[in-house]
Every structure is written in structure tokens, then in C-alpha cells.
Amino acid sequence: MTKPTHLKVALVQQSNTDNAQDNMAKSIAGIRDAASQGAKLIVLQELHRSLYFCQTEDVDVFDLAETIPGPSTDTLGALAKELNVVIVSSLFEKRATGLYHNTAVVLETDGSIAGKYRKMHIPDDPGFYEKFYFTPGDLGFEPIQTSVGKLGVLVCWDQWFPEAARLMAMAGAEILIYPTAIGWDPRDEKDEQTRQKDAWVISQRAHAVANGVPVISCNRVGHESDPSGQSEGIQFWGNSFIAGPQGEILAEANNSDEQLLVVELDQARSENIRRIWPYLRDRRIDHYQDLTKIYRD
């Protein structure tokens, strides 16, 4: 499958409510806007249909989950076909009763499902109780082949792990994509909030540099309350961005507003960067065996 040399990509940074229909309508509006500006690859944020429900542990939340294929992939597949675009969506997947995943799914321009990725790294922290809801992924780190190229789709907590980005690149990923839901505890000091956000940006820009590929990171924005009332909720920090193969910021959203970012990527430039900085050539795989250990005691 031949990829375009110049590819216009977009991401939709949005705030969410407890109304799934309204949230989906907002995502669809963003997709239509991006397509009207010429975008051929459009990325949505993590769990864009709902609030970030992992602030608490509540079995009733499993009612939000859906099958893949299912209602959302049907809707987004029809939209992808209508607009002739590739869409990266993030869904709460019901694989079976009692078995659920945090899953990114890619819709091709003909409306079909090009592939999916089940989140591999599952956090379990105050306000981010994802292990209660999601079984770790079992599809591995495999890029998804599409009409716009091979997409290395990962999800949120995966973005902190260089191994995940590297394995996607080693399998031929031409773009790394991170649907995300990350934010601040409103009680944190401003300096601490800045450090957290900067670390998040730096880590993903480093994946772009270390692998010589662009990165698209789409985060949600706005405050979402803690349903249990035990905390002050999460202030999702937005700051979605698109970086080039040297980690350069090509476009960046702010931390307070719903925004659409549209950028044209020069895929030939990634090829040139990887020739100049041949990290894959110089890897010493004969001395990396300890990376398969949890820790070197």
C-alpha cells in the first residue's frame, strides 16, 4: 500500500460530559472540521465517548462498554467512508462479560476496521483506577496498516514507556499516535503541575527523536469531578501536540480550550532523518538481554 509523501493530520482536543451522545457528536463535529481542512488522518482522545470514569471503582460503569465492531465503529466507519479519511478512535471495549479493554480502533477510508490496539500498560493510581476496568492488552505492539501509512497506535500510560514506542518503530510504524486522558490534581502546586506536564511532553518528544518518526498526542481538556467526592477531581491539561521526527513541535494546543490541530507532515523527511541518525543500525541487541527482566538485583 503506497503512502502519501505529504500527509495532513489532525487531532481533536475536547472536553466531555456524562452525555455519551453529546460527546460523540462533538467528536464527529471535530472530524468533519478537520476533513474540511484537508486532513486525511484524524485522531481522537482516549475514551472520547464518556467522562474519564476511572476516578472511582463502580461496576455500573461497565454498562458504558461496547463491542468492536459495534455502534461507535459503525458510526465512525460510515463517517470515515463519507469523508474519505482515516480515523483513530478510543473505546471502552466489551470483549465478553467480565472482560474489558481500553482499545484504540482505526477506521479506514472505506469504512472498514483497519485494526485495533488494546492498551498494554494499565495504571492503578489515585484517580486513575484503570486496573479495575481494563484487562491488559493481548495484541502486542503491532502497527496498523492503512492507506495513509503504518500507524503505531498506543494509549496514554503506554506513552511513558520507551520500549512500546521502540517496538512499534521496529515493526515499521511510520507515525506514533497516543490517544490520552491525563491531568492534574487541582490540589497540586503550580510548579508541580508544570513539572508533570513538561515531563509528559518531553517523554513523547523523545520517542519521536529516538525513532525518527512523528508523534501525535491527543489529550482531553477540562475539569471532571470525582463521583465519590473523595477528591477534587481531575483538571485535564490538554496541551495536545504534534511533533516531527526530531521532536520539534509542529502544533500545540493550550491547556484550557477545546481545539483542533491540523498539520501537514512531510513523510520523506522522516526517511531522511532516519538515514542521518540510524539508531536502529547501531542498537547493541547482543547486550540488551536484561531488558526482559523486571529489575537487575
- Please indicate whether residue 142 is annotated as part of the active site: no
C-alpha cell at 156: 496514554
| Residue 199, Cβ density class (10 Å: 0-12 exposed, 13-18 middle, ≥19 buried) | exposed
Percentage of residues in the chain with pLDDT exceeding 90? Answer: 97
Q: Give yes or no for a contact between 204 and 177, defined as CB atoms under 8 angstroms apart.
A: no
Q: Per-residue pLDDT averaged across 238-243, rounded?
A: 98
What is the structure's pLDDT at 167? 98
- Rounded Cα gap, residues 211 and 173, in angstroms: 9
CA 27 vs CA 44, 75, 88: distances in Å: 7, 11, 11
**Which three cell numbers mark 37?**
481542512
Q: Which domains does the chain have, with CATH numbers?
A: 6-292 (3.60.110.10)
Q: Can you tell me the mean pLDDT for 285-296?
A: 94
Q: What distances in angstroms separate CA 148 from CA 153, 180, 265, 268, 294, one per listed residue? A: 13, 22, 11, 13, 36
Q: Which residues contact 143 (CB under 8 A, 6 or more apart)?
A: 150, 151, 152, 153, 168, 171, 172, 173, 174
Contact criterion met (CB below 8 Å) for 175 and 143 = no
Give the pLDDT confidence score for residue 243 in this predicted structure. Answer: 98
Mean pLDDT for 130-143 is 98
Residues 246-281: tens digit of each pLDDT? 999 999 999 999 999 999 999 999 999 999 999 999
pLDDT tens per residue across span 74-122: 999 999 999 999 999 999 999 999 999 999 999 999 999 999 999 999 9
Contacts of 208 (CB under 8 A, 6+ apart): 176, 214, 215, 243, 244, 245, 246, 247
For the chain, give the percent of residues with pLDDT over 70.
99
Tell me the average pLDDT of the chain: 96
Mean pLDDT of 26-44: 98
pLDDT tens-digit readout, 112-121: 999 999 999 9
Q: How confident is the model at residue 257, as a pLDDT?
A: 97
Number of CB atoms found within 10 A of residue 8's CB: 19
Give the model's pLDDT for residue 2. Answer: 62
- pLDDT tens-digit map of 202-235: 999 999 999 999 999 999 999 999 998 889 999 9
pLDDT for position 5: 87
Of the residues 26, 46, 130, 197, which is catalytic?
46
Alpha-carbon distance values, 89 to 178, 189, 283 (Å): 11, 33, 33
pLDDT single digits (tens) 51-68: 999 999 999 999 999 999
* Confidence label for 163 from pLDDT (cuts 50, 70 and 90): very high
Question: What mean pLDDT comes out for the span 185-203?
Answer: 96
Active site residue 46: yes
Spot the catalytic one: 8, 40, 156, 174.
156
pLDDT at 1: 57
Residue tagged 494509549 (cell numbers): 155
Q: At residue 14, does pLDDT exceed 80?
A: yes
